[in-house]
């Protein structure tokens, strides 16, 4: 390849492009790679040049193409990013820096390198997603020329490509790169199967072409009748996708359905549906093969109608879409540089939400291996579409439950969810959601994420948020314990508990377990005629001899109780009203915040008897947010 081919390609879609800048970047890179050759024997500059050309085919902007030309300069020679910045400005320097960071970890051990380089790649792109697109083009050119590497290296790189880069291209909607990466990797990993499919595919070519021509002319005739403008194209099938279908559907090559595949490209969405109607009236649709990705676009921006019919005793697959949808299907996120700028496009940001989720999760995830697993799962999961009560569509991986949905709506909704109403019926949070469900999440201010949710949820986002919520929760009880250390010292409350045959025994309620009337209790002798009272399950002093004892049923004195609760508006008023509403004579009440959203309330009232105390405690315990009650 030569520079002028690249310039020509750029001019095709961007006649006003600053081609001098591209030439300057080329010369600069050429100078630094001057004496270097690739394993193929070509000059090294061919690699950045081809990488840049792939980006020009995707119609990327000038800074991306310049950065592609310069992408190996920093890594392979001793040029600093600072130098690139002086010569080409900050934007291009940042792109080169991003790509360099990804490749730098090449020399670490295998397991580490995979995980780390992906982290870096994604991290770099938090600032600019073009870094990933440049990296994908770099990867694509390397895969095209992989045959010059030793076998072991080829296998390893191909596996990585299949695991990480092809799915990434898919998620960014860049189908053209995705297919090619997959087929190139497949060829390395399963050479025999690849060859077999290729041969069989070749043998059937003539037959297929005749069939396609026949179908095409029938459709074109019908379109004319209906006065619809559209292009009917035969569609190339990719070997890896054929192989995948053979595996997942347990079919032989001859049984694979959609070897005959057509694509129809038209002007408007309305035409798409009309064409679908025409095809379904010409031939019998195959049940379960129709998908409307126009009304419900995939999270990678892909839009199209899919259907399959039986035509002339064989299955034929159709894709129907507008020209813009077709561009986006082939180029994905890259297509956006053609129509709109990067910044200030709200819709664009929305469409990148998946990527942001992944980025966030890997920044928060403590374990890199875990992150890769998450990434792999998310990339391959099928999607379902569900609705908020207002009718907003939310796409989730298949198998998701209401908790996933709640987190997709908002972190606070997820953290505080207690139940779900699906299609008007209350269902457990763990219930799997189905396509088209309408979900209303029930929340409570004092709810917290639960550890067992981690086993139920499917989405990366939910997992990350739940872990974060759990960490936060752990911090809160730790702080409470710090503020209220278990005191071994105990308080004397002579007449609360009756110890048989020991009428004058002194009683102290232990503070380690803070027993309250209603609890089953035991007494242990701490010194002559003095007993400490514990809950029966309290482990403290459990080895000492213990007496089973009963609460005095006629506790008729001023009682102080302390209540620890999540702080909220109206908490104190609720406690106050609860006690007053029983007609109790409230002597004193106060509340204070003890930090971390917790409050401590103390109340003093005159009890009539022990049941009265139990009644008040059980009423307060039912109040929202109350965590602990004890006698003071
Ligand atoms: Mn490179």
DSSP 424-454: TEEE-TTSBP-TT-BEEEEE-TT----TTHH
CA dist 625 and 603 (Å) reads: 17
The mean pLDDT value for 305-332 works out to: 86
Domains delineated in the chain: 3-190 (1.10.3210.10), 199-333 (3.30.460.10), 382-463 (3.10.20.30), 493-631 (3.30.70.260)
Measured in angstroms, how far is the CA atom of residue 70 from the centroid of ligand 1? 9
Give the pLDDT mean for 201-210.
Answer: 78
* Range with lowest mean pLDDT among 103-117, 270-284, 318-332, 558-572: 103-117
Q: What is the pTM of this model?
A: 0.53
Least confident of 147-151, 214-218, 359-363, 584-588: 359-363
For residue 277, pLDDT over 90 is answered with yes
Ligand 1 centroid, distance to 16 Cα (angstroms): 28
Give how far Cα 573 sits from Cα of 569, 599, 616, Å.
Answer: 9, 13, 15
What's the CA-to-centroid distance between 192 and ligand 1, angstroms?
A: 29
If one compares 549 and 9, the residue with the highest pLDDT of the two is: 9
CA–centroid distance, residue 90 to ligand 1 (Å):
20
Higher pLDDT, 424 or 357: 424
Distance 217 CA to ligand 1 centre (A): 45
Question: Sorting pLDDT into bands at 50, 70 and 90, what band is 381?
Answer: very low
pLDDT value at position 87? 94
Residues within 5 Å of ion ligand 1 by Cβ?
72, 138
pLDDT of residue 103: 62
Instruction: Between 236 and 79, name the one with better pLDDT.
Output: 79
Cα 75 to middle of ligand 1, angstroms = 9
Yes or no: say if 271 and 294 are a contact pair by the CB < 8 Å rule: no
Query: Which residues face 292 on adjacent strands?
Result: 305
Whether residue 155 has pLDDT greater than 90: yes
Please compute the mean of the pLDDT values over residues 406-414 and round it to a whole number: 91
pLDDT band at 341 (very low <50, low <70, confident <90, very high): very low
Q: What is the side-by-side order of every strand in the sheet holding 586-595?
A: 586-595, 598-606, 558-566, 626-631
Per-residue model confidence as pLDDT tens digits over 60-76: 889 999 999 999 998 77
Given this model, what pLDDT does residue 494 score? Answer: 58
Q: How confident is the model at residue 336 (pLDDT cuts 50, 70, 90)?
A: low
Q: Give distance in angstroms: CA of 101 to centre of ligand 1.
A: 12
d(CA 354, ligand 1 centre) in Å: 26
pLDDT of residue 127: 56
pLDDT on residue 497 = 83
**Residue range 401-423: mean pLDDT, rounded:** 91
* Residue 21: predicted pLDDT: 95
Cα(83) to centroid(ligand 1), Å: 19
What is the rounded average pLDDT of the residues 286-308? 81
Q: What pLDDT, on the 0 to 100 scale, is given for residue 400?
A: 93
Ligand 1 centroid–CA 140 distance in Å is 10
Tell me which of 3 and 393 has the higher pLDDT.
Answer: 3
* Total residue count of the chain as it appears in this document: 632
**Tens digits of residue pLDDT in 609-632:** 888 889 999 999 888 888 888 887
- How far, in Å, from the CA of 47 to the mean position of ligand 1? 7
* Nearest alpha-carbon partner for 515 in 504, 525, 523, 526: 523
Give me the pLDDT at residue 2, please: 93
Secondary structure (3-state) at 604:
strand
Q: What distance in angstroms lies between residue 247's CA and the mean position of ligand 1's atoms?
A: 33
Q: What is the mean pLDDT of residues 529-538?
A: 84
Report the pLDDT value the prediction gives residue 273, as an integer from 0 to 100: 94
Query: What is the rounded average pLDDT of the residues 242-265?
Result: 76
CA of 80 to the centre of ligand 1 (A): 17
Residue 234 has a pLDDT of 82
With cut-offs at 50, 70 and 90, classify the pLDDT of residue 109. very low
Q: What is the pLDDT of residue 186?
A: 95
Q: 369 CA distance to ligand 1 centroid (A)?
A: 25
The lowest-confidence range among 223-232, 258-267, 372-381, 574-583 is 372-381
Measured in angstroms, how far is the CA atom of residue 50 from the centroid of ligand 1?
10
pLDDT of residue 566: 85
Whether 367 has a pLDDT exceeding 60, the answer reads no
What percentage of the chain exceeds 90 in pLDDT? 28
* Residue 138 Cα to ligand 1 middle (Å): 5
* Mean pLDDT of the 511-533 span: 83
- When computed from its CA atoms, the radius of gyration of the chain, rounded to whole angstroms, is 34
pLDDT band for position 115 (cuts 50, 70, 90): very low
- Tell me if residue 27 is catalytic: no
* Whether pLDDT at 306 is above 50: yes
Q: CB–CB of 546/522 below 8 Å?
A: yes
pLDDT above 70 for 528: yes
Q: How far apart are CA 265 and CA 245, in angstroms?
A: 25
Integer Cα distance of 294 and 321 in angstroms: 8
Highest mean pLDDT among 151-160, 341-350, 361-370, 486-495 belongs to: 151-160
237-253: b or e for each residue (b if 16 or more CB lie within 10 Å)? bbbbbbbebbeeeeeeb
Q: For residue 44, how far is its CA from the centre of ligand 1 (angstroms)? A: 10
By 3-state DSSP, what share of the chain in percent is helix, strand and coil, each rounded to 5?
A: 50, 20, 30
* Model pLDDT, residue 513: 79
Q: Could you tell me how far CA 185 lies from the centroid of its own chain?
A: 26
Question: What band does 215 get if pLDDT is binned at 50, 70 and 90?
Answer: very high
Distance CA 423, CA 442 (A): 13
Q: Is 551 helix (H, G, I), strand (E, B) or coil?
A: strand
Confidence (pLDDT) at 14: 85
Active-site pick, 12, 30, 31, 76: 76
Least confident of 76-80, 306-310, 363-367: 363-367
Q: How far is the CA of 167 from the centre of ligand 1 (A)?
A: 20
Residues pairing with 527 in the sheet: 530
pLDDT at 340: 40
Question: Does the annotation count 151 as an active-site position?
Answer: no
pLDDT at 563 (0 to 100): 92
- How high does pLDDT run on average in the chain? 80
Please give the share of the chain, as a percent, with pLDDT higher than 70.
Answer: 81
Active-site residue, selected from the candidate residues 30, 42, 75, 541: 75
Q: Phi/psi at 441 (nearest 5 deg)?
A: -90, 135
Q: In this predicted model, which residue has the larger pLDDT, 460 or 334? A: 460
**pLDDT the model gives residue 536:** 84
**CA angle at 516 for the pair 512 and 518, rounded to the nearest 5°:** 135
Secondary element (H or E) of residue 459: none
Q: Answer yes or no: are the C-beta atoms of 512 and 540 closer than 8 Å.
A: yes
The pLDDT score that the predictor gives to residue 552 is: 84
Q: Has residue 252 got a pLDDT over 80?
A: no
pLDDT per residue as tens digits for the range 442-481: 888 778 888 889 999 998 889 999 998 888 877 766 555 4
């Amino acid at each position: 390849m030569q520079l002028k081919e690249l310039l020509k390609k750029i001019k095709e879609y961007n006649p006003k492009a600053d081609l001098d800048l591209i030439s300057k970047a080329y010369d600069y890179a050429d100078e630094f790679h001057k004496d270097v050759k690739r394993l193929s024997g070509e000059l090294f500059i061919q690699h950045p040049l081809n990488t840049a050309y792939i980006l020009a085919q995707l119609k990327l902007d000038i800074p991306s193409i310049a950065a592609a030309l310069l992408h190996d300069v920093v890594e392979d020679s001793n040029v600093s990013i600072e130098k690139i910045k002086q010569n080409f400005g900050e934007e291009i320097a940042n792109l080169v820096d991003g790509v360099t960071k990804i490749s730098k970890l090449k020399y670490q051990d295998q397991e580490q390198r995979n995980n780390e380089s992906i982290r870096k790649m994604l991290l770099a792109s938090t600032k600019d997603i073009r870094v990933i697109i440049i990296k994908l083009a770099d990867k694509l050119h390397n895969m095209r020329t992989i045959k010059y590497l030793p076998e072991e290296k080829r296998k390893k790189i191909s596996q990585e490509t299949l695991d990480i880069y092809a799915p990434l291209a898919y998620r960014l909607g860049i189908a053209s790169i995705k297919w090619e990466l997959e087929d190139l990797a497949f060829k390395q990993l399963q050479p025999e199967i690849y060859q077999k499919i290729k041969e069989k595919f070749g043998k059937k070519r003539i037959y297929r072409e005749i069939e396609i021509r026949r179908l095409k002319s029938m459709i074109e005739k019908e379109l004319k009748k209906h006065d619809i403008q559209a292009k009917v194209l035969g569609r190339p099938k990719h070997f890896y996708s054929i192989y995948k279908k053979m595996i997942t559907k347990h079919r032989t090559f001859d049984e694979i359905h959609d070897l005959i595949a057509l694509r129809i490209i038209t002007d408007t969405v309305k035409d798409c549906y009309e064409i679908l109607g025409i095809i379904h009236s010409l031939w019998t649709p195959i049940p379960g093969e129709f998908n409307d990705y126009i009304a419900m676009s995939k999270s990678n921006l892909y839009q199209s109608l899919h259907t399959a019919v039986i035509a002339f005793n064989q299955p034929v697959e159709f894709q129907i879409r507008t020209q813009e949808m077709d561009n986006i299907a082939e180029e994905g996120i890259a297509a956006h540089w053609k129509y709109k700028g990067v910044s200030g496009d709200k819709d664009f940001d929305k469409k990148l939400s998946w990527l942001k989720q992944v980025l966030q999760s890997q920044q928060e995830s403590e374990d890199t291996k875990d992150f890769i697993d998450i990434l792999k799962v998310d990339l391959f999961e099928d999607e379902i579409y569900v609705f908020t009560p207002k009718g907003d569509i939310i796409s989730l991986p298949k198998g998701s439950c209401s908790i996933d949905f709640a987190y997709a709506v908002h972190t606070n909704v997820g953290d505080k969810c207690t139940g779900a109403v699906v299609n008007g019926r209350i269902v457990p949070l763990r219930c799997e959601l189905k396509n088209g469900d309408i979900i209303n999440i029930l929340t409570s201010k004092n709810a917290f994420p639960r550890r067992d949710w981690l086993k139920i949820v499917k989405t990366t986002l939910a997992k990350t948020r739940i872990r974060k919520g759990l960490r936060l929760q752990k911090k809160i009880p730790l702080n409470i314990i710090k503020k209220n250390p278990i005191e071994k010292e105990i308080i004397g409350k002579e007449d609360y508990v009756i110890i048989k045959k020991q009428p004058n025994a002194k009683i102290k309620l232990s503070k380690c377990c803070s027993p309250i009337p209603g609890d089953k209790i035991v007494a242990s002798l701490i010194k002559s005629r003095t007993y400490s009272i514990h809950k029966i399950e309290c482990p403290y002093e459990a080895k000492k001899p213990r007496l089973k004892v009963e609460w005095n049923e006629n506790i008729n004195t001023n009682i102080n109780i302390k209540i620890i609760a999540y702080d909220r508006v109206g908490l104190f008023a609720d406690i106050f009203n609860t006690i007053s509403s029983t007609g109790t004579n409230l002597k004193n009440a106060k509340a204070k915040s003890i930090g971390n959203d917790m409050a401590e309330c103390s109340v003093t009232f005159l009890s009539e008897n022990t049941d009265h105390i139990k009644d008040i405690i059980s009423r307060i315990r039912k109040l929202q947010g109350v965590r602990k009650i004890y006698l003071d």
